[in-house]
Structure 1
Amino acid sequence: MSKKIVIIGGGPGGYVAAIRAAQLGAEVTVVEKGKLGGTCLNRGCVPTKTLLHAARIYKTVQNTRQFGIYCTIDSFRYDKMVEKKNEVVRNNVIGIETIFKNRHIKLLSG
């Protein structure tokens, strides 16, 4: 007899629990009111760290002279940084959706 589990919230706690429950043979449904991945993936940790990474690269290039490396940054394109951030978020969401599909985890909006 299969166990049926409903998980409220598709953030990190919810999707990890859903995947594990499915691995253990449960029939799993996740109810998410926003986007799969929750705040951390879509608006918090992941987007912020992606933009911070771009800022660190910029700063590193500015400080290369002390190592005998002479280069300049002509400009930076914030719109391209945002595109990269969106790509990282999108790829992570697609990854979770793919796992859900492969594990037959149902996702409901609500």
Structure 2
Amino acid sequence: MKFNLKGKNAIITGGGSGIGQAISTTFAAQGANVHILELNADHAQNTVNLIKEQGGSATAYNCNVVDQKQVVEVINEIASKHDIHILINNAGIAHVGNIEKTAETDLD
């Protein structure tokens, strides 16, 4: 075991693919109950299925993290059932350019 997360509840944004999926599956393999907040519901569910196939525990939530209201609703839903021990803010988009030439809307 790499590290022990047994009994811990982890929220991972963008956990449906790429680095987020790797974090989600690793945390679940180490015993965490993983809550995946993901814009793409199919990707989130695929990660949940992968985790469950490996004997782990995970739940998918369709959530756009740029919408604060959605995030608050999902966090409140999770917090009403579980203590939250870990938060991984992984969701993001790739943007080519530099900070000086990046529009404020892209930064948001």
Question: Under a length normalisation based on structure 2, what TM-score does the superposition of the two structures give?
Answer: 0.42
Structure scoring higher RCO (CA < 8 A, sep ≥ 6) equals: 1
Q: Report the structure number with the largest CA radius of gyration.
A: 1
Q: Which structure's residues are more often helix, by fraction? A: 1
